[in-house]
Amino acid sequence: MRPVRSLDTPAASRHGRGQTLPLRVGTRGSPLALWQTRHFLSIVSRFCPVLRDAKAFDEHVISTEGDRVQDRRLADIGGKGLFAKEIHEALLDGQVDFAVHSLKDLETELPPGIVLACLLRREDPRDAIVLGPVCGAPDRRDPLACIPHGALVGTASVRRQSQLLHLRPDLRCEIIRGNIQTRLGRVRNGDFAASFLAIAGLKRMGLEREAGIVLDPETVVPAAGQGIVGVTVRARDTELHELLSAIEDREARVVATAERALLGALDGSCRTPIGAHARLGTDGVVRLTGLVARADGSYLLRHTAEGPAADAARLGRALGERLRREAPADILT
Ligand SMILES: NCc1[nH]cc(CCC(=O)O)c1CC(=O)O
C-alpha cells in the first residue's frame, strides 16, 4: 500500500491538518451490529496500518427506525433502507466518518454522496430455522417435516415466508421482530413453534448451535448480500475510501455486485419476495440464482445464470430482468 502522509480528506481535516483525532464509526446498537463493527475495526487494525497508526476509533451508536418499529413487516413500513436512513444522515452531516452495515439491510441505490467503500469476506449466507420444543429432531432427508402440521413460524421476511409456505403450505407465518436474542427467546417460550434467522448472525453471536435446520441456498434462496458486512463513507472522502477498498474482499464484491444488480433490476416494490444468491468459482465464473415468489408461496420462479466475474453487474441485471418478464403481473407490483 502506498504511504499516506496525512489523511487530507474531509474526514481527517475537520479539525485541521496534522491532528489525529479519532475517526468516528457509525453503527446500530444491536449486539450483532456492535459485533460486526468491532470485527471490522479489528480487520482495519490488522491490515490497514495507515489508519491504525494515524487514528483511534470512536463508536457512535445510532438508533434507526428499523430498530424502533417492532410489530410490522419491513415491507409494510418502507422495507430497505429502514436500518440505514439515520446512519446515512449522520454520515452526510459529518457526525460520523464511516459506518458499518449488514449489506442485506442496505438499499440497492445509496443516497447521493454515499458510497460502499469496503465489503468484508462473506460469512455463511444460508438461512437457518430455530426449532422450539414442539418440534421433533429434524431428519436429514426432510428436515422441515419436524415442524408440526399447522404450526406457527415467526418471520418478518416475505422472502422467507413465501419459500417456506411453498414447501409447507400447512404452516402459518407471523411477524417476529427484534434482535436475534429476542427472537430465540420467543421460540424457546413457545410463542412460535420455529423461527427463521440468518446463520451468519447466529455464528457471529456464538449461537450456531441454536440452528436446528440450515437450509440449502437452492431450497431457500437467501437475501441479496446476506452474510456480508459493508462499510459506507462519504463519496468525497476519497482517501479514506481508497484505504478501505484496499482491505475489501474481492469475492464478496463480485457476489454482492451480482446479487444487488438483480435486486435493482426487479425493484418493483419492497413487498415482493426476492432471493438472490451468487457464488464465485475458482475459474472466475459467477453463478447467480434469483428467485421471485408470491408471498403465500403459491407461485415461485427461480432461474440461474452464469458469467465472468467482470460482468457480475450485467449478469445480475439480465437475470433480474428475465425474472421480471416471466413473473405474473401481480407479483411485481
Ligand atoms: N434484518 C436483520 C438482519 N440483518 C442481517 C442479519 C444477519 C447477518 C447477515 O446477514 O449478515 C439479520 C438477522 C437475520 O436476518 O436473521
The 10s digit of each residue's pLDDT in 282-305 is 999 999 999 999 999 999 999 999
* 226 C-alpha to ligand 1 centroid (Å): 7
Query: Which ligand 1 atom lies nearest to the CA of residue 226?
Result: 10
For the beta carbon of residue 229, count every other beta carbon within 10 angstroms.
26
Contacts of 250 (CB under 8 A, 6+ apart): none
| Range with lowest mean pLDDT among 119-123, 177-181, 229-233, 267-271 | 267-271
CA atoms of 315 and 90, how far apart (whole Å):
34
pLDDT of res. 1: 38
ipTM of the complex: 0.96
| Known catalytic membership, residue 237 | no
pLDDT of res. 26: 97
- Cβ of residue 230 lying under 6 Å from some atom of ligand 1: no
pLDDT of res. 226: 98
> Which cell goes with 33?
451490529
- Cβ of residue 84 lying under 6 Å from some atom of ligand 1: no
Q: Would residue 316 be called left, alpha or beta, if left means φ above 0 and alpha means ψ between -120 and 50 degrees?
A: alpha
Query: Which ligand 1 atom lies nearest to the CA of residue 223?
Result: 10
Residue 76: pLDDT over 50: yes
* 20 C-alpha to ligand 1 centroid (Å): 34
For the segment 265-273, the average pLDDT, to the nearest whole number, is 78
C-alpha to C-alpha distances, 84 to 61, 66, 137, 197, nearest whole angstrom: 12, 8, 38, 20
Query: Which ligand 1 atom lies nearest to the CA of residue 196?
Result: 16
CA atoms of 226 and 228, how far apart (whole Å):
6
Q: In the structure, what pLDDT confidence band is assigned to residue 15 with cuts at 50, 70 and 90?
A: very low
Q: Which of 67, 97, 105, 124 is catalytic?
A: 105
| pLDDT above 90 coverage of the chain, percent | 80
Specify whether the CB–CB gap between 47 and 118 falls below 8 A.
no
pTM, entire model: 0.92
pLDDT of res. 2: 39
